[in-house]
Structure 1
Amino acid sequence: MPVAASELRQLCCDADLVPVTLGGCSEVLDVGREHRLVTGPIRTALMVRDRGCAFPGCDKPPAACHAHHVVPWQSGGVTSVENLVLVCAHHHGIVEPTADPPGRRWEIRIGADGVPEVLPPVHVDRSRRPRRHQRFRAPLSA
Protein backbone atom coordinates (compact mmCIF):
# COMPACT_ATOMS: atom_id res chain seq x y z
CA MET A 1 0.00 0.00 0.00
CA PRO A 2 1.53 3.36 -1.04
CA VAL A 3 2.22 5.92 1.70
CA ALA A 4 2.17 9.68 1.14
CA ALA A 5 5.50 11.50 1.72
CA SER A 6 3.94 13.61 4.48
CA GLU A 7 2.69 10.49 6.26
CA LEU A 8 6.11 8.82 5.93
CA ARG A 9 7.78 11.88 7.49
CA GLN A 10 5.30 11.71 10.38
CA LEU A 11 6.04 8.01 10.91
CA CYS A 12 9.79 8.63 10.84
CA CYS A 13 9.43 11.45 13.35
CA ASP A 14 7.33 9.26 15.65
CA ALA A 15 10.00 6.53 15.44
CA ASP A 16 12.86 8.97 16.24
CA LEU A 17 14.30 8.52 12.75
CA VAL A 18 15.82 11.44 10.86
CA PRO A 19 14.17 11.69 7.46
CA VAL A 20 16.53 12.80 4.71
CA THR A 21 14.62 14.25 1.81
CA LEU A 22 16.77 14.50 -1.29
CA GLY A 23 15.26 17.12 -3.53
CA GLY A 24 12.06 17.30 -1.50
CA CYS A 25 10.44 20.50 -0.34
CA SER A 26 10.76 19.68 3.37
CA GLU A 27 14.42 20.62 3.70
CA VAL A 28 16.73 22.69 1.55
CA LEU A 29 19.66 20.55 0.43
CA ASP A 30 21.08 23.09 -1.99
CA VAL A 31 21.76 26.68 -0.93
CA GLY A 32 23.72 27.49 -4.07
CA ARG A 33 26.06 30.44 -3.70
CA GLU A 34 24.02 32.07 -0.93
CA HIS A 35 25.99 30.31 1.84
CA ARG A 36 29.50 28.83 1.87
CA LEU A 37 28.98 26.80 5.05
CA VAL A 38 26.68 23.78 5.05
CA THR A 39 23.29 23.93 6.70
CA GLY A 40 22.06 21.39 9.25
CA PRO A 41 19.91 19.51 6.72
CA ILE A 42 22.78 19.34 4.21
CA ARG A 43 25.15 18.03 6.90
CA THR A 44 22.58 15.38 7.88
CA ALA A 45 22.23 14.27 4.25
CA LEU A 46 26.04 14.04 3.92
CA MET A 47 26.28 11.99 7.12
CA VAL A 48 23.68 9.56 5.82
CA ARG A 49 25.26 9.30 2.35
CA ASP A 50 28.98 9.22 3.26
CA ARG A 51 28.82 7.65 6.76
CA GLY A 52 32.25 9.12 7.60
CA CYS A 53 35.37 10.17 5.74
CA ALA A 54 35.01 9.19 2.09
CA PHE A 55 38.75 8.64 1.60
CA PRO A 56 39.41 4.91 1.04
CA GLY A 57 40.59 3.15 4.20
CA CYS A 58 39.77 6.02 6.59
CA ASP A 59 37.61 5.15 9.59
CA LYS A 60 36.85 8.65 10.90
CA PRO A 61 33.14 8.99 11.77
CA PRO A 62 30.91 11.75 10.35
CA ALA A 63 31.24 13.90 13.48
CA ALA A 64 35.03 14.06 12.92
CA CYS A 65 34.69 15.16 9.28
CA HIS A 66 34.55 18.41 7.35
CA ALA A 67 32.17 19.07 4.48
CA HIS A 68 34.46 19.61 1.48
CA HIS A 69 33.32 21.42 -1.68
CA VAL A 70 34.29 19.31 -4.73
CA VAL A 71 34.22 22.43 -6.90
CA PRO A 72 35.58 25.04 -4.46
CA TRP A 73 33.13 27.67 -3.32
CA GLN A 74 35.63 30.43 -4.12
CA SER A 75 35.78 29.07 -7.70
CA GLY A 76 32.02 29.23 -8.19
CA GLY A 77 31.07 25.89 -6.61
CA VAL A 78 27.70 25.64 -4.92
CA THR A 79 26.85 24.48 -1.43
CA SER A 80 24.76 21.41 -2.23
CA VAL A 81 24.85 17.70 -1.46
CA GLU A 82 25.88 17.07 -5.07
CA ASN A 83 29.01 19.23 -4.62
CA LEU A 84 30.01 18.20 -1.09
CA VAL A 85 31.73 15.21 0.47
CA LEU A 86 32.73 14.37 4.04
CA VAL A 87 36.47 14.10 4.69
CA CYS A 88 38.49 14.08 7.92
CA ALA A 89 40.93 16.94 8.61
CA HIS A 90 43.92 14.93 7.36
CA HIS A 91 42.31 13.93 4.06
CA HIS A 92 40.79 17.39 3.63
CA GLY A 93 44.34 18.72 3.42
CA ILE A 94 45.20 16.09 0.81
CA VAL A 95 42.23 16.81 -1.51
CA GLU A 96 42.11 20.58 -1.04
CA PRO A 97 42.99 22.24 -4.37
CA THR A 98 46.51 23.59 -4.73
CA ALA A 99 48.50 25.26 -7.50
CA ASP A 100 49.48 21.77 -8.72
CA PRO A 101 47.79 20.79 -11.98
CA PRO A 102 45.26 17.94 -11.97
CA GLY A 103 47.04 14.62 -11.98
CA ARG A 104 49.79 15.82 -9.65
CA ARG A 105 47.63 15.64 -6.52
CA TRP A 106 44.80 13.63 -4.98
CA GLU A 107 41.35 14.75 -6.11
CA ILE A 108 37.85 13.87 -5.00
CA ARG A 109 34.62 13.87 -6.98
CA ILE A 110 31.08 12.54 -6.89
CA GLY A 111 30.65 9.61 -9.28
CA ALA A 112 27.83 9.34 -11.81
CA ASP A 113 25.92 7.17 -9.32
CA GLY A 114 26.20 9.80 -6.54
CA VAL A 115 28.98 8.02 -4.62
CA PRO A 116 32.17 9.87 -3.63
CA GLU A 117 35.36 8.64 -5.29
CA VAL A 118 39.00 9.61 -4.99
CA LEU A 119 41.41 10.00 -7.90
CA PRO A 120 45.06 9.31 -7.04
CA PRO A 121 47.89 11.37 -8.53
CA VAL A 122 49.75 9.86 -11.51
CA HIS A 123 52.79 8.99 -9.39
CA VAL A 124 50.53 6.63 -7.38
CA ASP A 125 48.46 5.27 -10.29
CA ARG A 126 49.27 6.28 -13.87
CA SER A 127 45.69 5.54 -15.00
CA ARG A 128 44.22 7.51 -12.05
CA ARG A 129 41.62 4.79 -11.50
CA PRO A 130 38.88 6.14 -9.18
CA ARG A 131 38.91 4.59 -5.71
CA ARG A 132 35.99 4.24 -3.34
CA HIS A 133 35.77 3.61 0.35
CA GLN A 134 34.97 -0.01 1.20
CA ARG A 135 31.62 1.04 2.70
CA PHE A 136 30.40 2.04 -0.79
CA ARG A 137 31.15 -1.31 -2.41
CA ALA A 138 28.24 -3.61 -3.07
CA PRO A 139 28.14 -6.71 -0.82
CA LEU A 140 29.15 -9.94 -2.53
CA SER A 141 26.32 -12.28 -3.47
CA ALA A 142 26.31 -15.71 -1.90
Structure 2
Amino acid sequence: MFTKILFPTDFSEAAEKAKDKLVEMSKCNIGEIILLHVVDIRIFSYSTMLDIIEVDNWKKDGKLIKELNRKLDAWKDELEKAGLKVSTEIKEGIPFDEILKYSENNGVTLILLPSVGHGVVERMLVGSTAEKVLRKSKVSVILLR
Protein backbone atom coordinates (compact mmCIF):
# COMPACT_ATOMS: atom_id res chain seq x y z
CA MET A 1 0.00 0.00 0.00
CA PHE A 2 2.61 2.55 1.08
CA THR A 3 5.61 1.70 -1.07
CA LYS A 4 7.47 5.01 -0.96
CA ILE A 5 7.40 6.90 2.34
CA LEU A 6 8.77 10.42 2.63
CA PHE A 7 10.12 11.22 6.09
CA PRO A 8 11.11 14.91 6.26
CA THR A 9 13.36 15.72 9.19
CA ASP A 10 14.75 18.80 10.86
CA PHE A 11 16.68 16.62 13.35
CA SER A 12 14.61 18.04 16.22
CA GLU A 13 13.63 16.07 19.30
CA ALA A 14 10.20 15.48 17.73
CA ALA A 15 11.83 14.14 14.56
CA GLU A 16 14.07 11.85 16.64
CA LYS A 17 11.01 10.41 18.42
CA ALA A 18 9.23 9.93 15.09
CA LYS A 19 12.31 8.10 13.74
CA ASP A 20 12.25 5.81 16.76
CA LYS A 21 8.60 4.99 16.01
CA LEU A 22 9.56 4.25 12.42
CA VAL A 23 12.11 1.73 13.72
CA GLU A 24 9.31 0.11 15.75
CA MET A 25 7.17 -0.04 12.59
CA SER A 26 9.93 -1.75 10.58
CA LYS A 27 8.32 -5.16 11.01
CA CYS A 28 5.13 -3.94 9.29
CA ASN A 29 6.50 -4.60 5.80
CA ILE A 30 6.67 -0.94 4.82
CA GLY A 31 8.33 0.17 1.61
CA GLU A 32 11.24 2.47 0.88
CA ILE A 33 11.88 5.37 3.26
CA ILE A 34 13.23 8.66 1.92
CA LEU A 35 14.84 10.83 4.58
CA LEU A 36 14.53 14.43 3.41
CA HIS A 37 16.09 17.48 5.00
CA VAL A 38 15.19 20.91 3.63
CA VAL A 39 17.65 23.73 4.25
CA ASP A 40 15.25 26.57 5.04
CA ILE A 41 16.38 29.52 2.90
CA ARG A 42 14.32 31.90 5.04
CA ILE A 43 16.71 31.38 7.94
CA PHE A 44 19.62 32.50 5.78
CA SER A 45 17.65 35.53 4.62
CA TYR A 46 17.09 36.59 8.24
CA SER A 47 20.74 35.90 9.06
CA THR A 48 21.89 38.07 6.16
CA MET A 49 19.77 40.97 7.38
CA LEU A 50 21.45 40.62 10.76
CA ASP A 51 24.93 40.31 9.17
CA ILE A 52 25.38 36.87 10.72
CA ILE A 53 25.96 34.85 7.55
CA GLU A 54 25.86 35.47 3.83
CA VAL A 55 23.33 33.37 1.95
CA ASP A 56 25.83 31.87 -0.49
CA ASN A 57 28.62 31.23 2.05
CA TRP A 58 26.99 28.08 3.44
CA LYS A 59 27.05 26.62 -0.07
CA LYS A 60 30.64 27.65 -0.80
CA ASP A 61 32.33 26.24 2.27
CA GLY A 62 30.26 23.04 2.26
CA LYS A 63 30.39 22.52 6.03
CA LEU A 64 26.62 22.62 6.46
CA ILE A 65 26.00 20.07 3.70
CA LYS A 66 28.70 17.77 5.08
CA GLU A 67 27.14 17.93 8.54
CA LEU A 68 23.64 17.32 7.17
CA ASN A 69 24.90 14.34 5.15
CA ARG A 70 26.62 12.98 8.26
CA LYS A 71 23.36 13.22 10.25
CA LEU A 72 21.26 11.75 7.45
CA ASP A 73 23.74 8.87 7.01
CA ALA A 74 23.61 8.11 10.75
CA TRP A 75 19.80 8.01 10.65
CA LYS A 76 19.92 5.91 7.46
CA ASP A 77 22.27 3.40 9.11
CA GLU A 78 19.98 3.10 12.13
CA LEU A 79 16.89 2.53 9.98
CA GLU A 80 18.68 0.05 7.71
CA LYS A 81 19.79 -1.95 10.77
CA ALA A 82 16.08 -2.24 11.59
CA GLY A 83 15.56 -3.79 8.15
CA LEU A 84 14.26 -0.79 6.23
CA LYS A 85 15.28 0.31 2.74
CA VAL A 86 16.39 3.95 3.04
CA SER A 87 17.64 6.76 0.81
CA THR A 88 18.49 10.37 1.68
CA GLU A 89 17.91 13.74 0.05
CA ILE A 90 18.83 17.34 0.84
CA LYS A 91 16.91 20.19 -0.76
CA GLU A 92 16.91 23.93 -0.19
CA GLY A 93 13.86 26.15 -0.09
CA ILE A 94 10.81 26.58 2.08
CA PRO A 95 10.29 23.26 3.89
CA PHE A 96 6.57 22.67 3.29
CA ASP A 97 6.92 23.65 -0.37
CA GLU A 98 9.93 21.39 -0.97
CA ILE A 99 8.24 18.49 0.85
CA LEU A 100 5.16 18.80 -1.36
CA LYS A 101 7.22 19.19 -4.56
CA TYR A 102 9.37 16.18 -3.72
CA SER A 103 6.28 14.12 -2.93
CA GLU A 104 4.57 15.01 -6.21
CA ASN A 105 7.67 14.58 -8.40
CA ASN A 106 8.95 11.29 -6.96
CA GLY A 107 5.96 8.97 -6.63
CA VAL A 108 5.70 9.24 -2.85
CA THR A 109 2.71 7.31 -1.47
CA LEU A 110 2.84 8.55 2.15
CA ILE A 111 4.37 11.47 4.03
CA LEU A 112 5.33 10.67 7.62
CA LEU A 113 5.79 13.87 9.65
CA PRO A 114 6.88 14.67 13.18
CA SER A 115 4.14 16.90 14.59
CA VAL A 116 6.34 19.55 16.22
CA GLY A 117 9.87 20.54 15.38
CA HIS A 118 10.30 24.24 16.05
CA GLY A 119 10.00 26.49 19.06
CA VAL A 120 7.05 28.80 19.66
CA VAL A 121 8.72 31.92 18.26
CA GLU A 122 9.89 30.13 15.11
CA ARG A 123 6.40 28.67 14.60
CA MET A 124 4.87 32.14 14.87
CA LEU A 125 7.31 33.58 12.31
CA VAL A 126 7.41 30.71 9.88
CA GLY A 127 4.13 28.86 10.43
CA SER A 128 3.65 25.17 10.88
CA THR A 129 5.25 23.03 8.19
CA ALA A 130 3.18 20.04 9.25
CA GLU A 131 -0.07 21.99 9.08
CA LYS A 132 0.69 23.26 5.56
CA VAL A 133 1.72 19.81 4.33
CA LEU A 134 -1.47 18.31 5.80
CA ARG A 135 -3.66 20.85 4.02
CA LYS A 136 -1.96 20.77 0.64
CA SER A 137 -0.66 17.22 0.18
CA LYS A 138 -2.11 15.06 -2.58
CA VAL A 139 -1.00 11.88 -0.77
CA SER A 140 -1.77 10.54 2.69
CA VAL A 141 0.02 12.18 5.62
CA ILE A 142 0.58 10.67 9.06
CA LEU A 143 1.63 12.89 11.96
CA LEU A 144 3.71 11.20 14.64
CA ARG A 145 3.94 12.52 18.18
Q: If the length of structure 2 is used for normalisation, what is the TM-score? A: 0.25
Higher helix share: 2
Larger Rg: 1
Does 1 or 2 have the higher relative contact order (CA < 8 Å, sep 6+)?
A: 2
Q: If the length of structure 1 is used for normalisation, what is the TM-score? A: 0.26
Higher strand share: 2
